[in-house]
Structure 1
């Protein structure tokens, strides 16, 4: 295989804020893997919370570039195992793993969902994310982007009031992501009010390490509770059973599609709901997530929708949330 690496600085349509940070640009690494006239693409974004930069990922990958170029591709799962043995970070592995899956599908001339034995007849609609801001700006963002399903980032001193104001302007379903900002007591107090306001579930309301708190509230909370920061890698799925209603898998955090598929399978065995989320990727990363949608209960793959300018073509998300899957094999990605 022949490898290529390129750094992109993705400009966001609006400043994006959660309870711990804000940003207007997103650094992203796109990896290309080429073989027999086909090129597969994968992506991983930088993340200050996990101390990951594009430069750090490129340094990791360049250290084994010769070995990757000489690698004899048979199955993406074997390539993933090879990368794990080399000790790369999950973010770097994700970019390579996504590129390998895209390449593998293109070589076979089949989309990944078909290779995995699924069909895109039924899939969940992605939410559109509204970051923390003044209430007026949050309302304005929502009005600017009419959508049937919004994820609302909270973690302020007036969270309930924010949702009340948003509700006055739409009848869409809400999901709430508090990004570790609440206590168990606040969660149980807020949940009935939020349910009345049309909220579907709560994502990571308590700090990630407060598993005792989650165990205390999961069975009494009137809304489902989905793990995000508490479910990063494959080993975390079992830990979430009995503490959460479901899990949110991030490809960049777990290391790509290969472990994500195993996490989905294990979550089903444990009777956990399954969601896959994004990290403000371009259509390179979002198109990989889309291939998983027939296996999911929920999906958050609005990353490319939040950008001023996309860098790739792949999955197309229509105004009603319906998906148009690319005709190319793999994830169906082409760079613009």
Structure 2
């Protein structure tokens, strides 16, 4: 298997701001493996929140291609090797895993969706994320997303006045809204802030507090009038059992 790894930098159409950072570009690590006429591909997106950078991820991907078994269908062995090599998951692990599944599907002669047992239908609906900005700007972006056919929005919070943000958006958009402070709130303040969101018909609140504060998350969920979903707190499948009782769902 001859593999090549490269990093590309994507330039965002508009700055993407969340509570802890503002991005104008995003680096993506791509891996491509050639075996005769077959070309398999994978990608991973480094996340600084988890201490990743593109150079380190690219090196890890190059070093880990050898973990892929000769038999394309032997994904169980690959999973065991990846769990050992990347106990906390991450972008490099993702890139190798995606490549291996693409390779296995091609070897089986079926599209990846069929290999995974998914129905050959239209892609499932997805939400559109509205990054932090002035309330009027966020409302304009929400209306533009709705005009493109998005029926669910994820609205970033954690900076600025969340009531002003949601009021402005609701003046332009009547569909489903989920909110995500990206762990910007404390366990003590989160219930009060969540109470203020109720009049705006919010579906759920994603990762309101720090991902390592399980006790705080339990308290927040007990007091929250809205469902609590975690994201940064659930990195690997083994994280799920410890989160039972502390949340209503997990964003994968």
User: Which interval holds the TM-score relative to the shorter structure?
Assistant: 0.7 to 0.9
Q: Secondary structure at the match of 2:250?
A: strand
How many residue pairs match? The answer is 248
Change (3 A) 1:228 1:102: same
Aligned to 1:105: 105
Distance 1:176 1:201 in 2: 7
1:145: how far off? 2.5
1:14-163 equivalent positions in 2, closer than 5 A = 14-64=14-64, 67=66, 71-86=70-85, 90-119=90-119, 125-146=125-146, 147-163=150-166
Is there any run of 5+ residues in structure 1 with no aligned partner, and where?
250-336
Give SS of 1:239's match.
helix
Match of 2:172 among 132, 144, 169: 169
Q: Determine the C-alpha separation between the residues in 2 that align with 1:16 and 1:125.
A: 21
Q: Taking structure 2 as the reference length, what is the TM-score of the superposition?
A: 0.88
Counterpart contact for 2:18–2:131, Cα < 8 Å: yes
Residues 160, 190 of structure 1: 8 Å contact kept: no
Match of 1:223 in 2: 226
Offset of 1:5 from its aligned partner? 1.0
SS, match of residue 22 in structure 1: strand
How large is the Cα RMSD of the aligned pairs? 2.4
Match for residue 234 of structure 1? 237
Larger Rg: 2
State the distance in 2 between where 1:70 and 1:126 align.
Answer: 33
Shift, 1:186, TM fit: 3.5
8 Å contact kept, 1:130–1:151: yes
What pairs with 1:142-291 in structure 2 (closer than 5 Å)?
A: 142-146=142-146, 147-249=150-252
How far apart in 1 are the matches of 2:3 and 2:69?
Answer: 10
What SS class does the counterpart of residue 235 from structure 2 fall into? Answer: coil
Bigger relative contact order, structure 1 or 2 (CA pairs below 8 A, ≥6 apart): 1
Deviation, 1:227, is 0.7
